[in-house]
């Protein structure tokens, strides 16, 4: 086998690259600044838009029921930012409230078109 053939074989995995459907694309505390969140969402939008058919899911956890309203509002704001500012097709982004948890948390999932949404985590990631 010559060097050119070997080089091509090494490139094959990159030619058939699929969306990373690992547990999460990103995770952060909703107490970060809007500017910091927007920087994360910018990267997220690029990934969603670059992979045909991929979908974004914003899953949110609240420390308690009292803080749930503000965490949900942050998720709605993030989804709106992705659609209105970053141009993500609204059918490709959704958000959902998971459960009350030990702390406030936002998870950004990048989902492959053929993979179902992750199951709802009602046990607070224990």
**Are the beta carbons of 87 and 49 closer than 8 angstroms?**
yes
Within-domain flag for 83: yes
CATH of the domain at 86: 3.30.1330.60
- Mean pLDDT in runs of 10 for the chain (126 residues)? 44 39 78 96 95 91 88 95 97 90 89 80 59
Within-domain flag for 121: no
Within-domain flag for 52: yes
Q: How many domains does the chain have?
A: 1
Domain interval for residue 29: 18-111
Within-domain flag for 10: no
Please provide the size of the chain in residues. Answer: 126
**Are the beta carbons of 92 and 50 closer than 8 angstroms?**
no
CA torsion, ordered 69, 75, 78, 84, to nearest 10 deg:
-80
Main-chain dihedrals φ then ψ at residue 94, nearest 5 degrees: -145, 165
Within-domain flag for 86: yes
**Are the beta carbons of 61 and 75 closer than 8 angstroms?**
no
Within-domain flag for 125: no
Within-domain flag for 41: yes
Within-domain flag for 44: yes
């Amino acid at each position: 086998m010559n060097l050119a053939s070997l080089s091509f074989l090494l490139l094959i995995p990159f030619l058939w690259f699929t969306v990373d459907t690992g547990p999460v694309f990103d995770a952060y505390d909703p107490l970060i600044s809007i500017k910091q969140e927007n920087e994360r969402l910018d990267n997220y939008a690029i990934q969603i838009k670059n992979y045909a058919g991929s979908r974004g899911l914003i899953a949110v956890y609240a420390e308690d029921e009292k803080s749930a309203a503000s965490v949900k509002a942050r998720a709605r704001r993030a989804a709106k930012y992705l659609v209105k500012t970053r141009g993500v097709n609204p059918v490709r982004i959704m958000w959902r409230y998971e459960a009350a948890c030990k702390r406030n948390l936002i998870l950004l999932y990048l989902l492959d078109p053929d993979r179902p949404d992750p199951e709802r985590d009602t046990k607070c990631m224990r």
